[in-house]
Amino acid sequence: MTTMPAIFQRNHLIRDAIGRALYDGMKLDSAIHLFGEGAHAKIHYDAPKIEAAFLDRVHTLPISEDGNTNFAVGASLLGIKPVVDVISADFLYRMMDSIANTAAKLNFMRPNEDPKTIVIRAEFLTGGPTTGQRPESLFTHIPGLRVVIPSTPRHAYGLMRTALSTPGVTLFFEDRMIQDNDEWSPSDLIPAGPLPIGAASWCHRGRRGNATIVTYGIMRQVVQRVLRRYTSTNDYPMLCDLIDLVSLAPIDWNFITKMLERTRYREGWLLIVEPDIQYGGIGAEIAAYYQKCRPRMQVRRLGAPFATIPASMALHAQMLPSEEDILGAIRSFH
């Protein structure tokens, strides 16, 4: 069973990395401003250094999610680089029009002007049908949007720095279900500078072996636990490559293909593990792509069922693929 944190529990290392990226970005670029409901209160909790250094660039807005995004779009037309903090990803449904119909098309419709930069930050929460949804796959369908979900502090820092300095609109998701990890290496905790958006991460290297596993968000931690648990066992070694997508739009197709070619079987074995609802999701897109170009490839998919999230956090946890589910899927390739 996947462990579900309390609704207000947060990973501190990823949160701190995002705060440090915002601080470093704002120090270098005076055009970056933070906008959001209760923005001062949140920055005071997340990154008080930002509030102390850039008080005039942290703007608390009224409770009007859609209006706040349109306000940020207007600010970008004046040369500001807004970071809109949505708090809960569930609120993005209220902002769909201003994001998909206005922000995403801004640079396309104004080709003769300097391109605008907008970052929309949201968190995946837990705790019920209206506070635990994952709308990330909806935004990958919209041209003009980048979608990233870091699962380590290093990626959180590097991707936020890139989003702040790259023209365009980036949806930056923080997965609150990811727990602080004692096994993160020093390179994960020390910012290494901006990282490219659209590059996947090779986070577990197997020998030329069983399968390639593709995942993102909280499921990276779950899959890694499975691989660490079984890689060294004599009865059934897990010789798998694990890829963390990190970026859902664009997807790093070249890297996934390269990893598939490492499997000892010519057509490749591919397991996709996602925390979102399977139907119409990221995993479906990846599976469709490879089953078209490699018809004989064996593909397995694990994800959440097509169902409303229960109010119980314990039941919500059971919607996610478990370690036993993942192990069984790997073994099913034989």
- In the chain the beta strands, taken as DSSP E runs, fall at 32-37, 58-61, 81-88, 117-124, 145-148, 168-175, 201-204, 211-215, 240-244, 247-249, 269-277, 298-304
Confidence band of 7 (pLDDT split at 50, 70, 90): very low
CATH number at residue 167: 3.40.50.970
Query: What whole-number percentage of the chain has pLDDT above 90?
Result: 57
Helices 282-293, 253-260: inter-axial angle, 10-degree rounding: 60
Enclosing domain of residue 239: 201-331
> Residue 234 belongs to a domain with what CATH number?
3.40.50.920
The 10s digit of each residue's pLDDT in 25-36 is 999 999 999 999
Whether the CB-CB separation of 172 and 126 falls below 8 Å is answered with no
Select from 169, 189, 209 the last residue of a domain. Answer: 189
Q: Given pLDDT bands bounded at 50, 70 and 90, which one contains residue 295?
A: confident
**Looking at the structure, do residues 235 and 87 belong to the same domain, yes or no?**
no
pLDDT at 267: 63
Same domain, 235 and 114: no
Strands 201-204 and 168-175: unpaired
Last residue of a domain, one of 189, 222, 240: 189
Domain membership flag for residue 1: no
C-alpha 82/C-alpha 85 separation (Å) is 9
Same domain, 48 and 163: yes
CA dihedral sign of residues 325, 245, 66, 37: positive
Q: What distance in Å separates the CA atoms of residue 144 and residue 146, rounded to the nearest whole number? A: 7
Tokens matching residue 63: 């409770």
Q: Are residues 270 and 131 in the same domain?
A: no
CB proximity list for 185: less than 8 A, separation 6 or greater: none
Do 170 and 109 fall into the same domain? yes
Of 137, 158, 189, the domain-final residue: 189
